[in-house]
Amino acid sequence: MRKILIAPSILSADFSKLGQEVKEVEKAGADLLHIDVMDGHFVNNITIGAAVVKSLRPVTKLPFDVHLMIENPEDYIESFAKAGSDLITFHIEIEEDPKELIRLIRYYKKKVGISVKPKTDVKRILPLLAMVDMVLVMTVEPGFGGQDFLFDCLEKVREVRDNFKKDVEVDGGVNEMVCADIVKKGANILVAGSYVFGSKDYAEAIKRLRGAQ
Ligand code: DX5
Ligand code: ZN
């Protein structure tokens, strides 16, 4: 059985003490740090830029799982790569050529993830699966933390898993009630923002999610 990895999303952290929050989730047993990058165009929210990623890099050893929800991602791959990202995920719904983007991320020797929004057919990414390290299945409409998990998206997790042996990550509305179902469908990385950062005990929250197996 695959090990379940937990990736807290810092979108729900207290930004006034971000470095400390990151250290705390690392100590609490997180496996990756999920960083949501939004530009106010691809989604209706603006969050974190490469400068924040760079300043967090010396604070933790956790791999940085950078989720780009931006238009024209090719213009920003270099800065996010140089800021210390380990894995860079982009959305299939952007207008650019996904193969070019994958090549660009590889040029900087970073792992590549590809993501699908809830209404996007998984078939759109099937031809690219051999070129990527991870698939991120969105289970809320991207843009904000703290939304309800969309159960309709669960079958997509299975469809991806049936066609892909590497990492399958689920992002949006993940909590202790839904994590077992997600893992049953074949996901092995769980992103959780509000569930982890909204809990009093980060270690307990992470343990509960990991117990999903
Ligand atoms: C939403 C982001 C998510 C978000 C998850 O667009 O991609 O990573 O932070 O937050 P929760 O776990 O609260 O749904
Ligand atoms: Zn995300």
Catalytic positions, please? 36, 171
Pocket test for ligand 1, best of 147, 149, 197, 202 (most atoms within 8 A of CB): 147
Q: Which tens digit of pLDDT belongs to each residue from 20-72? A: 999 999 999 999 999 999 999 999 999 999 999 999 999 999 999 999 999 99
Distance from C-alpha of 169 to C-alpha of 137, rounded to nearest angstrom = 6
With beta carbons less than 8 A apart as the criterion, state whether 5 and 32 touch.
Answer: yes
Residue pLDDT, tens place only, 152-208: 999 999 999 999 999 999 999 999 999 999 999 999 999 999 999 999 999 999 999
Confidence check: pLDDT of 1 > 80: no
Cβ–ligand 1 distance for 118 under 6 Å, the answer no
pLDDT of residue 2: 86
12 close to ligand 1 (CB < 6 Angstrom): yes
Task: For residue 202, report the distance from its CA to the centre of ligand 1, in Å.
Answer: 16
**If pLDDT is split at 50, 70 and 90, which confidence band does 116 have?**
very high
Minimum-distance ligand to the CA of 66?
A: 2
Q: What superfamily in CATH does domain 5-210 come from?
A: Aldolase class I (3.20.20.70)
Please spell the DSSP secondary structure of 106-150, one letter per residue. HHTT-EEEEEE-TTS-GGGTGGGGGG-SEEEEESS-TT-SSPPP-
Atom of ligand 1 nearest to the CA of 198: 13
Q: Ligand 1 within 6 A of 195 CB?
A: yes
Please give the model's pTM, rounded to 2 decimal places: 0.98
